[in-house]
Structure 1
Amino acid sequence: MRRADRLFLLIHALRGRRQAITAQQLAQTLEVSLRTVYRDVADLQRSGVPIEGEAGVGYVLRKGADIPPLMFSPDELEALVVGTRFVRAFGGERLGRGATAALLKIEAVLPPELRERAARTRIFAPELAGRIESSGLIDALHAAVQEHRVLRLTYRDSGARASEREIEPLCLSFWGGSWTLGAWCRLREDFRSFRPDRIATHSATGEVFAADERRGLQAYLRSVGGALPDRWKR
C-alpha cells in the first residue's frame, strides 16, 4: 500500500469516532506494524491534522475536524456492508482487502445511528480456510485477465484426464458456489469456460494478447448466451 493511501485510510479510521481507537486496532485495520502507526500519526500531527492522544492510550480526531456524513439509506448501507462481506469471502485476497478498506472509509464518516445499523445486519458470508478463494488462485487468474497475459494450464476434465492448454483469459464468473474462467483456448481454437478447481498447474507464458472482435470478451459472452452490459464498458 502506498504511504499516501495509508495516511488517507488512517485519517478516515479516526473520523466520526467518539472514543479513542488504539494503535493496535489501527495496525490491524491497516495491516501494518505498530511502529508504522506511531510514525504515521506523528507525521500527520506535525502536518497539522488535529489528532489527539498518545501511544498506549489511543487516538481521536479533534471534534469539529470531521466532514459531513455520507447520506445512505438504511437499505443502501446494508447492501454495501453485505456486499463487502461477500467480496471478502469470495472475491480473493486482493479484492477482499480492497473491500475492507472501502468499508472502513464509508463507516468512518457515517453518523452513529447508521454505523450501528451497519453493525446489526444479520447476513454473513463466512470466510473458510479451505475454499479456493484463500488459495491465491483466483487472485492470479484475475491479474492475468486484467493484464491480458497468456496462461499455460494443465487442466483436468470431469474424468480427471489432463491436457495442456494455452489460453487467453477474458473474465471470471462466480456462480454462487463455484467459479469459471472464460477464455479463448488456443488448443481448441474456440471459447471455453474453465473451472479453476480443475486447474492443476498454471504459469504465465510471458506473452500479452490483444483481444479482437472475433475472440474478445463480447464474442465470448455472445457464445455463452450473454452480452456485455453498457455499464461494464466504462
Structure 2
Amino acid sequence: MRRADRLFDIIQVLRLARTPITAAAIAAELEVAPRTVYRDIATLQARRVPIEGAAGLGYVLRRGFELPPLMFTDEEAEAIAIGLQLLHRTGDPGLTAAARTVVAKLASVVPEGMRGHLVAAPFHVSHRGAPAPGIVDLSEIRSAIRDARKLRIAYVDANNANTSRTVRPIAVEYYVDATLICAWCELRNDYRHFRIDRIGAVRVLAESFADEAQRLMAGWLALTRPK
C-alpha cells in the first residue's frame, strides 16, 4: 500500500470510529505494523490534521474535520462511474474489488450533490468479458510487474506443447475474450504474449530485472503501439 493511500485510510478509520481507537487496532485493520501507524499519525498531525490522543490511549479525529472536496464536472463523474464498471470486464478479481473501494473513497470526499453520479449512476455496463483468471493471481502478476520481478511459468502453447519458461513481465493486456501477460521470454529471447488460461502454474522469483525494465517496456511499446 502506498503511504498516501495509508494516510487517507487512517483518516477514514478515525472518522468512522465512535470511541478512541488504538494504533494497534488501526494497524490490524490496515494490515501494517503499529509503529507504522504511529509514524503516519505523527505525519498527519504535523500536517495539521486534528488528531488527538496518545500511544496506548487511542486516537480520535476532532469533530468537524473534512477532507477538501474533490471537484468533478458531471461528465467527469459519469466517466469515472462507467470506467469503474468496465473493470468487471477484465475478469481480474483484484481490480474489481479495487473499483468498489475507489467508489467508496471518492464518495466520501466529493460534495454530497455529486455522490449520486458515482454510487447510483444511471448507467449499466455488461459484465460479460474476459474469463476469470483461474489459477493465476493477477494481483500477484501486477505486483511482479511493478517490482520488476521475474516469473517462472508452466505454459501450454498454441500447439499444445508444454513448456517451462522464465519471463520478465512488462504489462497485462485485457481483451474481451482473453487476458495476456506481456513479457520478455528468456526461452525464446524475444517478446511474447502469454494467455492466462494457458498458464498451468506461476511463481514469482526473487530475481529482479529492474535495471532492464524501462528498456524492455520501451522496446515492447515500439513493437506493439502504432506510430
TM-score by length of 1: 0.64
In structure 2, distance between residues paired with 1:87 and 1:185: 28
CA contact (8 A) 1:88 1:97 kept: no
Alignment of 1:121-132 (within 5 A): 121-124=122-125, 126=127, 131-132=131-132
The percentage of counterpart residues that share the same residue type is 25
The corresponding residue for 1:37 is none
Question: Is contact 2:167–2:184 with CA below 8 Å preserved after alignment?
Answer: yes
- RMSD (Å), alpha carbons: 3.8
* Aligned pairs (5 A) from 1:64-213: 65-67=65-67, 69-87=69-87, 90=90, 92-118=92-118, 119-124=120-125, 126=127, 131-133=131-133, 137-209=137-209, 210-211=211-212
Please tell me whether the aligned partners of residues 133 and 196 of structure 2 are also in contact (alpha carbons under 8 angstroms).
Answer: no
2:221: which partner in 1? 221
Quick one: which of 10, 15, 19 aligns to 1:7? 10
Deviation at 1:191, TM superposition (A): 0.8
The answer (yes or no) to whether the contact 1:89–1:133 under 8 Å persists in 2 is no
Q: Distance in 1 between matches of 2:139 and 2:100?
A: 16
Runs (5+) with no aligned partner, structure 1: 15-30, 33-41, 51-61, 228-234
Secondary structure of the 2:160 match is coil
User: TM-score normalised to the size of structure 2?
Assistant: 0.66
**Who is 1:55 aligned against?**
none
User: Which residue type is aligned with residue 122 of structure 2?
Assistant: T
Residues 93-134 of structure 1 show CA distances to partners (whole Å, capped at 9, x for unaligned) of 444444333322221133333212331331235499x94257
Which AA in structure 2 matches 1:8?
A: I
User: What do residues 157-212 of structure 1 show as CA deviations (whole Å, max 9, x unaligned)?
Assistant: 22322111111111111123321111111111111111111111111332112316
For 2:61, give the aligned amino acid: V
SS in 1 for 2:202: strand
SS in 1 for 2:61: coil
The CA distance in 1 between the partners of 2:184 and 2:59, in whole Å, is 52
Q: 1:81 to 1:221 in 2, by over 3 A?
A: same
The alpha carbon displacement at 1:220 in A equals 1.3
Large movers: runs of 4+ above 6 Å: none
Change (3 A) 1:73 1:196: same
Supply the distance in 2 between the matched residues of 1:226 and 1:13 (Cα, whole angstroms). Answer: 48
Deviation at 1:72?
Answer: 1.1
Cα distance change, pair 153–6 in 1 and its aligned pair in 2 (3 A): same
Q: How many residues align?
A: 190
